[in-house]
Structure 1
Protein backbone atom coordinates (compact mmCIF):
# COMPACT_ATOMS: atom_id res chain seq x y z
CA UNK A 1 0.00 0.00 0.00
CA UNK A 2 1.39 3.41 -0.97
CA UNK A 3 1.85 6.21 1.53
CA UNK A 4 -1.02 8.71 1.81
CA UNK A 5 -0.68 12.06 0.07
CA UNK A 6 -1.07 13.79 3.45
CA UNK A 7 -0.53 12.25 6.87
CA UNK A 8 -1.07 14.10 10.15
CA UNK A 9 0.07 12.43 13.36
CA UNK A 10 -0.77 13.45 16.94
CA UNK A 11 -1.07 17.14 16.03
CA UNK A 12 -1.47 19.75 18.77
CA UNK A 13 -2.04 23.41 17.89
CA UNK A 14 -2.36 26.33 20.31
CA UNK A 15 -2.80 30.08 20.30
CA UNK A 16 -0.38 31.05 23.03
CA UNK A 17 -1.45 29.04 26.09
CA UNK A 18 -4.87 28.22 24.68
CA UNK A 19 -4.73 24.81 23.01
CA UNK A 20 -7.22 24.39 20.17
CA UNK A 21 -6.25 21.10 18.45
CA UNK A 22 -5.58 17.99 20.53
CA UNK A 23 -3.74 14.97 19.12
CA UNK A 24 -5.39 14.98 15.69
CA UNK A 25 -4.60 12.11 13.32
CA UNK A 26 -5.64 12.46 9.69
CA UNK A 27 -4.81 10.85 6.34
CA UNK A 28 -5.69 11.92 2.79
CA UNK A 29 -4.92 9.14 0.30
CA UNK A 30 -3.82 10.11 -3.21
CA UNK A 31 -6.88 10.99 -5.28
CA UNK A 32 -9.27 10.88 -2.31
CA UNK A 33 -11.68 13.52 -1.05
CA UNK A 34 -11.76 13.76 2.74
CA UNK A 35 -14.15 16.07 4.58
CA UNK A 36 -13.33 17.71 7.91
CA UNK A 37 -16.62 18.42 9.64
CA UNK A 38 -17.89 19.87 12.91
CA UNK A 39 -19.73 22.81 14.44
CA UNK A 40 -18.41 26.36 14.36
CA UNK A 41 -15.47 26.92 16.67
CA UNK A 42 -14.27 23.32 16.98
CA UNK A 43 -10.89 23.98 15.33
CA UNK A 44 -11.41 23.16 11.64
CA UNK A 45 -9.80 26.33 10.25
CA UNK A 46 -7.05 26.16 12.88
CA UNK A 47 -6.22 22.66 11.66
CA UNK A 48 -5.97 23.82 8.04
CA UNK A 49 -3.81 26.79 8.98
CA UNK A 50 -1.43 24.40 10.72
CA UNK A 51 -1.36 22.13 7.67
CA UNK A 52 -0.37 25.10 5.50
CA UNK A 53 2.25 26.44 7.91
CA UNK A 54 0.29 29.57 8.83
CA UNK A 55 0.28 28.28 12.41
CA UNK A 56 3.06 26.21 13.96
CA UNK A 57 1.96 23.08 15.85
CA UNK A 58 3.16 22.63 19.41
CA UNK A 59 3.43 18.86 18.90
CA UNK A 60 2.94 16.21 16.23
CA UNK A 61 4.00 15.71 12.64
CA UNK A 62 2.72 16.68 9.17
CA UNK A 63 3.89 14.63 6.18
CA UNK A 64 3.20 15.38 2.51
CA UNK A 65 4.08 12.77 -0.09
CA UNK A 66 6.14 10.93 2.50
CA UNK A 67 8.23 13.96 3.54
CA UNK A 68 8.10 15.67 6.93
CA UNK A 69 6.93 19.25 6.27
CA UNK A 70 6.07 20.19 9.87
CA UNK A 71 8.60 23.03 9.86
CA UNK A 72 8.51 23.85 6.15
CA UNK A 73 7.34 27.44 5.37
CA UNK A 74 4.01 28.05 3.67
CA UNK A 75 5.42 29.10 0.29
CA UNK A 76 7.44 25.88 0.11
CA UNK A 77 4.35 23.78 0.89
CA UNK A 78 2.56 25.49 -2.00
CA UNK A 79 5.48 24.81 -4.35
CA UNK A 80 5.48 21.17 -3.26
CA UNK A 81 1.87 20.90 -4.41
CA UNK A 82 -0.44 21.98 -1.58
CA UNK A 83 -3.08 24.35 -2.95
CA UNK A 84 -5.01 26.30 -0.31
CA UNK A 85 -8.29 28.17 -0.59
CA UNK A 86 -8.96 29.80 2.80
CA UNK A 87 -12.35 30.62 4.24
CA UNK A 88 -14.00 33.85 3.12
CA UNK A 89 -13.13 33.75 -0.62
CA UNK A 90 -9.99 35.84 -0.08
CA UNK A 91 -8.70 37.78 -3.08
CA UNK A 92 -6.72 40.95 -3.75
CA UNK A 93 -9.72 43.30 -4.14
CA UNK A 94 -7.83 46.14 -5.89
CA UNK A 95 -6.40 43.82 -8.56
CA UNK A 96 -8.32 42.56 -11.57
CA UNK A 97 -9.36 38.93 -11.86
CA UNK A 98 -6.49 38.26 -14.26
CA UNK A 99 -3.97 40.10 -12.05
CA UNK A 100 -5.09 37.99 -9.06
CA UNK A 101 -4.35 34.84 -11.03
CA UNK A 102 -1.07 36.15 -12.43
CA UNK A 103 0.33 37.30 -9.07
CA UNK A 104 -0.46 33.94 -7.50
CA UNK A 105 0.96 32.04 -10.48
CA UNK A 106 4.20 34.03 -10.37
CA UNK A 107 4.61 33.65 -6.60
CA UNK A 108 4.11 29.89 -6.82
CA UNK A 109 6.32 29.58 -9.93
CA UNK A 110 3.43 27.83 -11.64
CA UNK A 111 3.73 25.89 -14.86
CA UNK A 112 3.13 27.46 -18.27
CA UNK A 113 -0.55 27.49 -19.19
CA UNK A 114 -1.79 27.11 -15.59
CA UNK A 115 -3.87 30.32 -15.75
CA UNK A 116 -5.68 29.16 -18.88
CA UNK A 117 -6.30 25.76 -17.30
CA UNK A 118 -7.78 27.37 -14.19
CA UNK A 119 -10.06 29.53 -16.32
CA UNK A 120 -11.22 26.44 -18.18
CA UNK A 121 -12.28 25.01 -14.81
CA UNK A 122 -14.06 28.28 -13.95
CA UNK A 123 -15.32 29.64 -17.30
CA UNK A 124 -17.72 31.97 -15.46
CA UNK A 125 -14.68 34.14 -14.64
CA UNK A 126 -13.63 34.70 -18.26
CA UNK A 127 -15.93 37.71 -18.93
CA UNK A 128 -14.57 39.44 -15.81
CA UNK A 129 -10.82 39.21 -16.36
CA UNK A 130 -10.44 43.00 -16.37
CA UNK A 131 -12.78 43.63 -13.44
CA UNK A 132 -11.37 44.35 -9.99
CA UNK A 133 -11.95 41.43 -7.65
CA UNK A 134 -13.57 43.69 -5.06
CA UNK A 135 -16.48 44.29 -7.46
CA UNK A 136 -17.28 40.60 -7.98
CA UNK A 137 -20.22 38.89 -6.33
CA UNK A 138 -19.55 36.54 -3.40
CA UNK A 139 -19.89 33.50 -5.64
CA UNK A 140 -17.56 34.95 -8.26
CA UNK A 141 -15.00 35.80 -5.57
CA UNK A 142 -15.15 32.22 -4.30
CA UNK A 143 -14.54 30.91 -7.80
CA UNK A 144 -11.61 33.29 -8.16
CA UNK A 145 -10.17 32.14 -4.82
CA UNK A 146 -10.38 28.53 -5.97
CA UNK A 147 -8.92 29.42 -9.38
CA UNK A 148 -5.99 31.10 -7.61
CA UNK A 149 -5.35 27.85 -5.74
CA UNK A 150 -5.50 25.94 -9.04
CA UNK A 151 -2.88 28.09 -10.81
CA UNK A 152 -0.29 26.90 -8.29
CA UNK A 153 -0.52 23.44 -9.90
CA UNK A 154 -1.62 21.57 -6.77
CA UNK A 155 -1.33 17.85 -6.20
CA UNK A 156 -3.72 18.29 -3.29
CA UNK A 157 -6.34 21.00 -2.82
CA UNK A 158 -7.32 22.24 0.66
CA UNK A 159 -10.67 24.05 0.74
CA UNK A 160 -12.10 25.80 3.81
CA UNK A 161 -15.91 25.94 3.53
CA UNK A 162 -16.02 27.02 -0.13
CA UNK A 163 -19.84 27.10 -0.22
CA UNK A 164 -20.36 29.23 2.90
CA UNK A 165 -22.48 32.33 2.29
CA UNK A 166 -22.86 31.64 -1.44
CA UNK A 167 -26.15 31.77 -3.35
CA UNK A 168 -27.63 28.29 -3.98
CA UNK A 169 -27.17 28.32 -7.77
CA UNK A 170 -23.46 29.00 -7.36
CA UNK A 171 -23.16 26.43 -4.55
CA UNK A 172 -24.30 23.74 -6.98
CA UNK A 173 -21.74 24.92 -9.53
CA UNK A 174 -18.91 24.92 -6.99
CA UNK A 175 -19.89 21.42 -5.86
CA UNK A 176 -19.76 20.26 -9.48
CA UNK A 177 -16.28 21.73 -9.92
CA UNK A 178 -15.02 20.04 -6.74
CA UNK A 179 -16.49 16.73 -7.87
CA UNK A 180 -14.88 17.06 -11.29
CA UNK A 181 -11.47 17.94 -9.83
CA UNK A 182 -11.74 14.90 -7.59
CA UNK A 183 -13.13 12.29 -10.00
CA UNK A 184 -11.89 13.45 -13.41
CA UNK A 185 -8.65 15.29 -12.64
CA UNK A 186 -7.80 12.97 -9.75
CA UNK A 187 -6.77 15.64 -7.25
CA UNK A 188 -6.58 14.73 -3.60
CA UNK A 189 -8.89 17.14 -1.76
CA UNK A 190 -9.24 18.03 1.92
CA UNK A 191 -12.53 19.85 2.31
CA UNK A 192 -13.85 21.60 5.40
CA UNK A 193 -17.62 21.43 5.11
CA UNK A 194 -20.48 21.95 7.58
CA UNK A 195 -23.33 20.70 5.44
CA UNK A 196 -24.00 16.97 5.64
CA UNK A 197 -25.71 16.83 2.23
CA UNK A 198 -22.65 18.30 0.53
CA UNK A 199 -20.33 15.91 2.33
CA UNK A 200 -22.49 12.89 1.41
CA UNK A 201 -22.43 13.99 -2.22
CA UNK A 202 -18.69 14.66 -2.47
CA UNK A 203 -16.68 12.81 0.17
CA UNK A 204 -15.02 9.41 0.16
CA UNK A 205 -14.47 9.68 3.91
CA UNK A 206 -14.65 12.21 6.71
CA UNK A 207 -13.54 13.14 10.20
CA UNK A 208 -15.61 15.08 12.71
CA UNK A 209 -13.91 17.47 15.10
CA UNK A 210 -15.46 18.33 18.45
CA UNK A 211 -13.68 20.74 20.78
CA UNK A 212 -10.41 20.17 18.92
CA UNK A 213 -10.57 16.37 19.16
CA UNK A 214 -11.38 13.81 16.48
CA UNK A 215 -14.85 12.64 17.58
CA UNK A 216 -15.69 10.38 14.63
CA UNK A 217 -14.11 8.94 11.50
CA UNK A 218 -16.01 7.18 8.74
CA UNK A 219 -17.16 6.92 5.13
CA UNK A 220 -19.80 9.06 3.44
CA UNK A 221 -22.41 6.35 4.06
CA UNK A 222 -22.00 6.81 7.82
CA UNK A 223 -23.20 10.42 7.56
CA UNK A 224 -26.81 9.20 7.52
CA UNK A 225 -26.40 8.08 11.15
CA UNK A 226 -28.76 10.04 13.42
CA UNK A 227 -26.28 10.37 16.28
CA UNK A 228 -23.70 11.78 13.89
CA UNK A 229 -26.21 14.24 12.44
CA UNK A 230 -26.89 15.50 15.97
CA UNK A 231 -23.16 15.90 16.58
CA UNK A 232 -22.95 18.11 13.49
CA UNK A 233 -26.09 20.14 14.20
CA UNK A 234 -25.35 23.88 14.17
Structure 2
Protein backbone atom coordinates (compact mmCIF):
# COMPACT_ATOMS: atom_id res chain seq x y z
CA UNK A 1 0.00 0.00 0.00
CA UNK A 2 2.78 2.45 0.89
CA UNK A 3 5.11 1.26 -1.91
CA UNK A 4 8.34 1.90 0.08
CA UNK A 5 10.49 0.70 -2.85
CA UNK A 6 8.90 3.22 -5.24
CA UNK A 7 8.06 0.53 -7.77
CA UNK A 8 6.21 1.95 -10.80
CA UNK A 9 2.70 0.62 -10.22
CA UNK A 10 -0.24 0.11 -12.51
CA UNK A 11 -3.46 0.96 -10.70
CA UNK A 12 -5.90 -0.34 -9.72
CA UNK A 13 -4.29 -3.45 -8.22
CA UNK A 14 -5.01 -6.14 -5.67
CA UNK A 15 -2.16 -6.76 -3.22
CA UNK A 16 -0.96 -10.07 -1.77
CA UNK A 17 2.06 -12.06 -2.90
CA UNK A 18 1.75 -15.47 -1.25
CA UNK A 19 -1.24 -17.72 -0.94
CA UNK A 20 -2.82 -21.16 -0.90
CA UNK A 21 -6.17 -22.39 -2.13
CA UNK A 22 -8.26 -24.98 -3.93
CA UNK A 23 -8.24 -25.63 -7.69
CA UNK A 24 -11.75 -24.93 -9.02
CA UNK A 25 -11.13 -24.78 -12.77
CA UNK A 26 -8.31 -25.70 -15.16
CA UNK A 27 -7.19 -24.83 -18.65
CA UNK A 28 -7.51 -27.56 -21.28
CA UNK A 29 -3.73 -28.13 -21.46
CA UNK A 30 -3.11 -28.43 -17.70
CA UNK A 31 -1.53 -31.70 -16.62
CA UNK A 32 -0.62 -33.02 -13.19
CA UNK A 33 -3.44 -31.26 -11.35
CA UNK A 34 -7.16 -31.82 -10.87
CA UNK A 35 -10.09 -29.89 -9.50
CA UNK A 36 -10.09 -30.01 -5.71
CA UNK A 37 -6.28 -30.08 -5.43
CA UNK A 38 -4.79 -27.90 -2.71
CA UNK A 39 -2.01 -25.69 -4.06
CA UNK A 40 0.26 -22.90 -2.98
CA UNK A 41 1.24 -20.02 -5.25
CA UNK A 42 4.36 -17.92 -5.16
CA UNK A 43 5.30 -14.28 -5.51
CA UNK A 44 6.95 -15.06 -8.85
CA UNK A 45 3.77 -15.86 -10.73
CA UNK A 46 4.96 -16.12 -14.34
CA UNK A 47 8.26 -16.46 -16.17
CA UNK A 48 8.96 -16.26 -19.88
CA UNK A 49 10.32 -19.84 -20.19
CA UNK A 50 12.49 -18.66 -23.09
CA UNK A 51 15.37 -16.59 -21.64
CA UNK A 52 18.72 -18.10 -20.63
CA UNK A 53 17.78 -18.30 -16.94
CA UNK A 54 14.45 -20.03 -17.56
CA UNK A 55 15.80 -22.58 -20.03
CA UNK A 56 18.96 -23.75 -18.28
CA UNK A 57 19.83 -24.91 -14.80
CA UNK A 58 16.65 -24.16 -12.86
CA UNK A 59 17.38 -20.44 -12.51
CA UNK A 60 13.97 -19.18 -13.57
CA UNK A 61 13.82 -16.94 -10.49
CA UNK A 62 16.23 -14.71 -12.43
CA UNK A 63 13.92 -14.50 -15.47
CA UNK A 64 14.48 -11.36 -17.53
CA UNK A 65 10.76 -10.58 -17.83
CA UNK A 66 9.11 -11.96 -14.68
CA UNK A 67 5.58 -11.26 -13.46
CA UNK A 68 5.11 -10.82 -9.72
CA UNK A 69 1.88 -11.07 -7.79
CA UNK A 70 0.36 -7.98 -6.24
CA UNK A 71 3.04 -5.37 -6.94
CA UNK A 72 1.31 -3.65 -9.81
CA UNK A 73 4.35 -3.81 -12.06
CA UNK A 74 2.72 -5.95 -14.74
CA UNK A 75 -0.96 -5.70 -13.99
CA UNK A 76 -0.90 -9.02 -12.10
CA UNK A 77 -3.37 -8.88 -9.21
CA UNK A 78 -2.32 -10.53 -5.97
CA UNK A 79 -3.79 -13.07 -3.59
CA UNK A 80 -6.17 -10.79 -1.68
CA UNK A 81 -8.99 -11.80 -4.00
CA UNK A 82 -11.44 -14.67 -4.24
CA UNK A 83 -10.06 -16.29 -7.42
CA UNK A 84 -6.69 -16.10 -9.13
CA UNK A 85 -5.25 -17.61 -12.32
CA UNK A 86 -1.96 -19.41 -11.78
CA UNK A 87 0.39 -21.13 -14.27
CA UNK A 88 1.29 -24.71 -13.39
CA UNK A 89 4.97 -23.76 -13.28
CA UNK A 90 4.32 -21.71 -10.15
CA UNK A 91 1.73 -23.88 -8.40
CA UNK A 92 2.78 -26.33 -5.70
CA UNK A 93 0.70 -29.19 -4.37
CA UNK A 94 0.00 -29.03 -0.63
CA UNK A 95 -0.63 -32.31 1.22
CA UNK A 96 -3.98 -33.04 2.81
CA UNK A 97 -4.08 -32.14 6.48
CA UNK A 98 -1.83 -29.09 6.14
CA UNK A 99 -3.61 -25.90 7.17
CA UNK A 100 -3.75 -23.65 4.09
CA UNK A 101 -3.40 -20.54 6.26
CA UNK A 102 -0.12 -21.93 7.59
CA UNK A 103 1.03 -23.11 4.17
CA UNK A 104 0.52 -19.71 2.53
CA UNK A 105 3.54 -17.88 4.09
CA UNK A 106 5.84 -20.68 2.99
CA UNK A 107 5.16 -19.64 -0.61
CA UNK A 108 7.28 -16.51 -0.16
CA UNK A 109 9.09 -16.28 3.18
CA UNK A 110 9.61 -20.02 3.31
CA UNK A 111 10.79 -20.48 -0.29
CA UNK A 112 13.08 -17.46 0.05
CA UNK A 113 15.22 -18.83 2.87
CA UNK A 114 14.98 -22.44 1.71
CA UNK A 115 16.55 -21.38 -1.58
CA UNK A 116 19.18 -19.38 0.30
CA UNK A 117 20.12 -22.39 2.44
CA UNK A 118 20.40 -24.55 -0.68
CA UNK A 119 22.66 -21.91 -2.27
CA UNK A 120 25.12 -22.24 0.63
CA UNK A 121 25.70 -25.85 -0.52
CA UNK A 122 26.03 -26.94 3.11
CA UNK A 123 25.72 -30.60 4.04
CA UNK A 124 24.19 -32.31 7.10
CA UNK A 125 26.42 -31.81 10.12
CA UNK A 126 27.95 -28.58 8.81
CA UNK A 127 27.56 -25.12 10.36
CA UNK A 128 25.36 -22.38 8.92
CA UNK A 129 25.06 -18.92 10.45
CA UNK A 130 21.83 -16.97 10.03
CA UNK A 131 21.78 -13.25 10.73
CA UNK A 132 18.52 -11.59 11.73
CA UNK A 133 17.47 -15.08 12.79
CA UNK A 134 14.72 -13.96 15.15
CA UNK A 135 12.52 -12.45 12.43
CA UNK A 136 9.97 -14.05 10.13
CA UNK A 137 12.38 -15.28 7.47
CA UNK A 138 14.94 -16.25 10.08
CA UNK A 139 12.38 -18.37 11.92
CA UNK A 140 11.71 -20.32 8.73
CA UNK A 141 15.43 -20.62 8.03
CA UNK A 142 16.14 -22.10 11.46
CA UNK A 143 13.38 -24.69 11.08
CA UNK A 144 14.53 -25.65 7.58
CA UNK A 145 18.16 -25.82 8.69
CA UNK A 146 17.29 -28.23 11.48
CA UNK A 147 15.24 -30.39 9.12
CA UNK A 148 18.21 -30.42 6.70
CA UNK A 149 20.55 -31.63 9.43
CA UNK A 150 22.54 -28.39 9.62
CA UNK A 151 24.03 -26.96 12.80
CA UNK A 152 22.60 -23.46 12.85
CA UNK A 153 24.02 -20.40 14.57
CA UNK A 154 21.35 -17.77 15.12
CA UNK A 155 22.59 -14.17 15.24
CA UNK A 156 20.25 -11.51 16.63
CA UNK A 157 19.95 -9.64 19.90
CA UNK A 158 17.87 -9.77 23.08
CA UNK A 159 16.77 -12.51 25.46
CA UNK A 160 13.37 -12.87 23.80
CA UNK A 161 15.06 -13.47 20.43
CA UNK A 162 17.42 -15.96 22.06
CA UNK A 163 14.54 -17.98 23.48
CA UNK A 164 12.64 -17.80 20.19
CA UNK A 165 15.60 -18.88 18.03
CA UNK A 166 16.50 -21.81 20.25
CA UNK A 167 12.87 -22.92 20.13
CA UNK A 168 12.97 -22.78 16.30
CA UNK A 169 15.91 -25.17 16.21
CA UNK A 170 19.07 -23.06 16.55
CA UNK A 171 21.97 -24.91 18.14
CA UNK A 172 23.74 -21.69 19.13
CA UNK A 173 22.65 -18.10 19.68
CA UNK A 174 24.96 -15.09 19.38
CA UNK A 175 23.75 -11.79 20.84
CA UNK A 176 25.02 -9.11 18.47
CA UNK A 177 24.72 -6.40 21.14
CA UNK A 178 26.29 -8.24 24.05
CA UNK A 179 28.93 -10.39 22.34
CA UNK A 180 31.70 -10.02 19.80
CA UNK A 181 29.96 -11.72 16.87
CA UNK A 182 33.11 -12.63 14.95
CA UNK A 183 34.84 -14.06 18.00
CA UNK A 184 31.79 -15.98 19.24
CA UNK A 185 30.89 -17.49 15.87
CA UNK A 186 34.45 -18.68 15.42
CA UNK A 187 34.48 -20.09 18.96
CA UNK A 188 31.41 -22.29 18.47
CA UNK A 189 32.76 -23.52 15.11
CA UNK A 190 36.09 -24.66 16.54
CA UNK A 191 37.88 -21.58 15.27
CA UNK A 192 37.18 -22.28 11.60
CA UNK A 193 33.91 -20.43 11.02
CA UNK A 194 30.64 -21.69 9.53
CA UNK A 195 30.47 -23.44 6.16
CA UNK A 196 27.67 -21.14 5.06
CA UNK A 197 26.05 -17.85 6.03
CA UNK A 198 22.57 -16.63 5.13
CA UNK A 199 22.46 -12.89 5.74
CA UNK A 200 18.85 -11.84 6.31
CA UNK A 201 19.57 -8.71 8.35
CA UNK A 202 19.15 -5.60 6.11
CA UNK A 203 22.35 -3.91 7.27
CA UNK A 204 25.99 -3.58 6.26
CA UNK A 205 27.61 -4.57 9.60
CA UNK A 206 26.38 -8.20 9.60
CA UNK A 207 27.78 -8.63 6.08
CA UNK A 208 31.15 -7.17 7.07
CA UNK A 209 31.24 -9.48 10.10
CA UNK A 210 30.31 -12.51 8.00
CA UNK A 211 33.19 -11.91 5.61
CA UNK A 212 35.52 -12.05 8.61
CA UNK A 213 34.17 -15.17 10.32
CA UNK A 214 33.20 -17.23 7.25
CA UNK A 215 35.14 -20.47 6.89
CA UNK A 216 37.64 -20.78 4.03
CA UNK A 217 35.76 -22.05 0.94
CA UNK A 218 32.49 -21.15 2.70
CA UNK A 219 29.59 -19.38 0.98
CA UNK A 220 27.83 -16.18 1.99
CA UNK A 221 24.32 -15.64 0.58
CA UNK A 222 22.99 -12.11 0.84
CA UNK A 223 19.26 -12.17 1.45
CA UNK A 224 18.40 -8.87 3.14
CA UNK A 225 17.57 -5.86 0.98
CA UNK A 226 20.00 -3.13 2.02
CA UNK A 227 18.54 -0.12 0.22
CA UNK A 228 15.44 0.88 -1.71
CA UNK A 229 15.81 -0.60 -5.19
CA UNK A 230 13.93 -2.00 -8.12
CA UNK A 231 12.00 -5.01 -6.86
CA UNK A 232 13.38 -7.38 -9.48
CA UNK A 233 16.96 -6.61 -8.45
CA UNK A 234 16.23 -7.37 -4.79
CA UNK A 235 15.70 -11.05 -5.60
CA UNK A 236 19.27 -11.74 -6.67
CA UNK A 237 21.56 -13.84 -4.48
CA UNK A 238 25.17 -12.70 -4.31
CA UNK A 239 27.65 -15.43 -3.43
CA UNK A 240 31.19 -14.99 -2.14
CA UNK A 241 33.18 -18.21 -2.05
- The two structures have a TM-score, normalised by structure 2, of 0.30
TM-score (normalised: structure 1): 0.30
- Greater relative CO (CA pairs within 8 A, separation 6+): 1
Higher percent of residues as strand: 1
